[in-house]
Amino acid sequence: MAHPGHAAYERLRAAHLAAVRGALDDHVARLDWSAERIESHRTERLRALLGWARERSPFHAARMGGLDPATATVADLAALPPMLKGEAQQEWDAIVTVPGVDRAAAERVLATQEWFGYTPDALQVFSSGGSSGVRGVYVWGWEQFVTLACLAWRWQRRADPAGPERLAVLSAGGPPHASTPLFDVPASASASTVVIPAAAPFDEVLAAARVARPAALVGYASVIGRLARATLAGDLDIRPARVSTNSEPLTEEDREAIENAWGAPVHNLWGSTEIGVQAVGCGIGEGLHVCADEVILERVDAVGRPVGPDEPAVRTLATGLAGYAFPFLRYDLGDDVTPLPGPCPCGSAMPRIAAVAGRRDDDFRYGALVVPASAFRLVLGVDPRISEYQVHQTRAGAEVLVVGSPDPAAVRAALITELARFGFPGAVVDVRLVDRIPRNAASGKLARFLPL
C-alpha cells in the first residue's frame, strides 16, 4: 500500500532529481580542475556562506567576531571556535537560517511523517544518531541536496558516463535517515532503481538482490560485503559493474570480497548527515578524494588550531559550503583523517585522505554470530526522547545506557526485535536511564559501542 502523500512527494522529487542530473556534468568537470582553480572556487564559496551565516544566523554572527566574510580565506577560519555536535543541537533555533523554521517545527515533521517529504520551504528534514550517540535533527535545502547528490555520484559518472540502467540501493529504506534520498538517484530518466532496506533480515536482502539483478550497487558497506560473500559461495548470481559503499567503514575483508566476487571498481564514500558528502573514492587510486570544492576539512590540535599534513591531529573540523539552511562552520566531526601525499593515478587534483578510522563502529561478536552496530543504531539513534546512548555488550546480549526520557521497556522490546532480525533471537537486553554517560577524559569523545 502506498504511503499517504507518497505520490506528491515523488512528483516533487522527480523535479529534484532532474535538477541533480542537470548539474552533474558540471560537477564531473570539476574533478579535472587544477588545484589553483579548486582553491579559487572554494574561497568564493566560503565567502558567500560566511556572509549568509553572519546575516541570517545569530549563533554564527556571534562566533565570527571581527571576521570579514568579504575577504575571508580558509586560513581565517581558525579565528572561529570549533562547533560541537551537542552545541549544534542545543542552539538549533539560533543556527537555522530559514524564517519560520525552528527545532519544534522540525520535530513535528519527524513525528508526523509516514514517508519522506518536503516542507513548504522545500526543506528536507532528517534525523540521525550518527556515530557519536547523540541524536541530531538536520534540514537540507533544495540546492544543498542537488550539490550533495552530485558529490555522491560524480566519480561514478566520470568513470561511466551512461550510468547503470538498474541500480540497487541498500540503505535505511525509509525516514528519518537521509541515506535513501541521497543514494536513490537514477543515472537517467529512463534508468530504474530498487531500494532494499539494509536492516532487513539478510535472507530478504539476498532474495531482493536476486530479483533486482542490478548493474550497480550502492549502500551500506557491510551489507554489500555480505552479498559479495554470498556470490562467492554460489548463493547469489549478480554481476554489478560498479559498487559504491557508504555509511559504514569499508573493511579490508569486505573490499576483498567485493573484488573477488565481481571484480568491480569500488567507490567508497565518507560522509555525515551534517555536512553531507565529505570524500569519495575514485575507484582507481588509493584512499578517498576530498570534495574540496564544496567541503573544507581542517585537521586540528586539542584547542582547534590547524596542524600540518605531517603532524598528528586530535580531530577534524568540517565546513560544508552548500549548507545554507543550517550552516556547519568548523564542525567537529570526531573523525581522524590522514592526508595522502602525491598525485592520484586518476589524474584529479582533488586532495586525498586515507581510509577514515575515527568513527569505526565495532561489531559485536557472539560466537560465530556477528551483530553490526546498526542493529542498535536503527532503534536508539532516531528516538526523539533519547539524547545520548552507549551500548555495552554482554555475553547474552547488551546493556544499554540511555540519557533522555524514553520508555525503557519499549526501547528494550524494540532492540530485542531488531536483534532477532539480525539472527539473535532471545537476546537479553537491559536498558537503563542515566543522567550522563562518561566520556574519554582526554578527547571528550563518547565510546558508543563497547564490545566484550
Query: Which stretches of the chain score pLDDT less than 50?
Result: 1, 358-361, 441-445
Residue 47 belongs to a domain: no
Give the pLDDT confidence score for residue 360 in this predicted structure: 41
Give the pLDDT confidence score for residue 358 in this predicted structure: 42
Would you list the DSSP string of 204-269? HHHHHHHHH--SEEEEEHHHHHHHHHHHHTTS-----SEEEEESS---HHHHHHHHHHH---EEEE
Domain coverage including residue 401: 364-450
Give the pLDDT confidence score for residue 231 in this predicted structure: 94
Residue 438 belongs to a domain: yes
Q: Is the peptide bond before 181 cis (omega within 30 degrees of 0)?
A: no
Residue 369 belongs to a domain: yes
Residue 336 belongs to a domain: no
Q: What is the pTM of this model?
A: 0.82
Give the pLDDT confidence score for residue 438 in this predicted structure: 77
Residue 93 belongs to a domain: no
Residue 183 belongs to a domain: no
Give the pLDDT confidence score for residue 404 in this predicted structure: 86
Give the pLDDT confidence score for residue 443 in this predicted structure: 29
How many domains are contained in the chain? 1
Nearest to residue 219, comparing CAs of 259, 167, 176, 263?
Answer: 167
Residue 398 belongs to a domain: yes
Residue 394 belongs to a domain: yes
Q: What is the rounded distance in angstroms from the CA atom of residue 424 to the CA atom of residue 370?
A: 9
Q: What is the CATH classification number for the domain harbouring 370?
A: 3.30.300.30
CB 289 within 8 A of CB 155: yes
Q: Name 83's bridge partners.
A: 331
